[in-house]
Structure 1
Amino acid sequence: MTEYLHRTKQGENKGHHYLRKETKNQIIHLIGSSITNNILLMMKSAKYYSIILDFTQDISKVEQMTVVVHFVQETRLDGVHDVRLWELFLGFLPVPDSLHSTLMQVVLKFLEDKKILLCNMRGQGYDNGANMKEKKFDHQK
């Protein structure tokens, strides 16, 4: 293994190997997608959820919206009833501006893309609450 790593770093191993940044990024993306899909399955089985949005700029000065979901999961196993409250990170969403209409469109598009039903949302929380107060989400969709 040491010899393989040495030859790869020296460029002697041509072709595919697992040290290439593209391969590492692909593996990271696959793991992230798997985690997100598991969270979505858990969340959808719980049915009702709340969403919390926070905002921050990344290093390139792009405003990012952080999406966190809360939900309660109930299970029964061998007569034992277990209730767990989950608070899980679903992702960062770039936002072009902080107008309430833009933020609402970004959130609604995210929910639609992830097939999360808006009618099952039971709570909303925002760091940028002053921007969101002018418009309420229509839970009838």
Structure 2
Amino acid sequence: MALRSTAIPYSDVHFKFPLFDEISSVVLKNAPDNLKLTSPRIQKDIINAFGVETTKLIVQDMGNDFFSILIDDCRDISVKEKMGVVVRYVDKNGCVMERFLGVVHVRDTVATSLEKALDSLLSMYDLSVSSLRGQGYDGASNMRGEFNGLKSLILRRNPRVYYVHCFAHQLQLTIVVVAKKHTSIGYFYNVINRLCNVVGGSCKRRDILREKQRENILEKIASDEITTGT
């Protein structure tokens, strides 16, 4: 997706945001007129700063109270295993809140590796396993295993961390079963499954598919259906 930015006159910014006089006097007057903030490096720095500040506010809102965790792991587009962590807690107004805490790269999905990654993430924000009171995962053996699962490893350290099978995962399993009973939907997913097996099983087929996709993208760029950017 291409980012388009329009230069805003300094006078307009000053008029619309009078509370930021100090910032505008330093930043806007010293910034070059061609500043667009479209550099990939600058965009990543801005997004990272937003993420850090947002996570700080979430941790401050949690305070020192008890909380629960929801964890799931999956492979991203760069073929790296990632573990996503969500915290669930009660805020100062008595409302139950669910907030995304972070994503951690894990080399494998064994329970001990997930436990180390979780400890690293919690310690980064001065959170402790001793404050945990709940944990929710899917039904995989490495997550909810009775002896060597992540659930059991955490329970050995804190026996008050009750486990609940993730309701979202239960709903997903229900939807999958219902969808398979529908003829058209079942046929669609069967075709997708076969296509993935056929293409994914051969490097030559993958190259052919990538080349066709590249030609398709070039045609859409030429016809202005897709906009490009650096």
The structural deviation recorded for 1:44 is 2.1
**Counterparts of 1:76-87 in structure 2 under 5 Å?**
83-87=94-98
2:49 is aligned with 1:38: no
Which of these two proteins has the greater Rg computed from alpha carbons? Answer: 2
- Residue 55 (structure 1) aligns with: 73
Question: 2:123 aligned to 112, 115, 132, which one?
Answer: 112
**Number of residues of Structure 1 aligned to a counterpart in Structure 2:** 124
- Residue 26 (structure 1) aligns with: 45
User: Alpha carbons of 1:43 and 1:95: their partners in 2 closer, same or farther (altered >3 Å)?
Assistant: same
**SS state of the match for residue 55, structure 1?**
strand
Higher strand share: 1
**Take 1:20 and 1:60, find their aligned partners in 2: how far apart are those partners?**
22
- Residue 153 (structure 2) aligns with: 136
The structural deviation recorded for 1:16 is 6.5
**How big is each residue's C-alpha offset from its partner over 1:19-62, in whole Å with a ceiling of 9 and x where there is no partner?**
222111111111111101101111125x1100010111100111
The structural deviation recorded for 1:106 is 0.9
2:104 is aligned with 1:93: yes
Question: 1:125 aligned to 121, 136, 143, which one?
Answer: 136
Mean Cα deviation higher: 127-136 or 105-114: 127-136
**SS state of the match for residue 125, structure 1?**
strand
- Residue 183 (structure 2) aligns with: none
The structural deviation recorded for 1:84 is 0.8
The structural deviation recorded for 1:139 is 2.6
Contact persistence 1:63–1:94 (CA under 8 A): yes
The unaligned stretches of length 5 or more in structure 2 are 1-5, 8-31, 160-230
**Take 2:92 and 2:126, find their aligned partners in 1: how far apart are those partners?**
21
The unaligned stretches of length 5 or more in structure 1 are 3-12, 76-82
**How big is each residue's C-alpha offset from its partner over 1:91-136, in whole Å with a ceiling of 9 and x where there is no partner?**
1111111111111111111111221021110001123641132232
Contact persistence 1:65–1:93 (CA under 8 A): yes
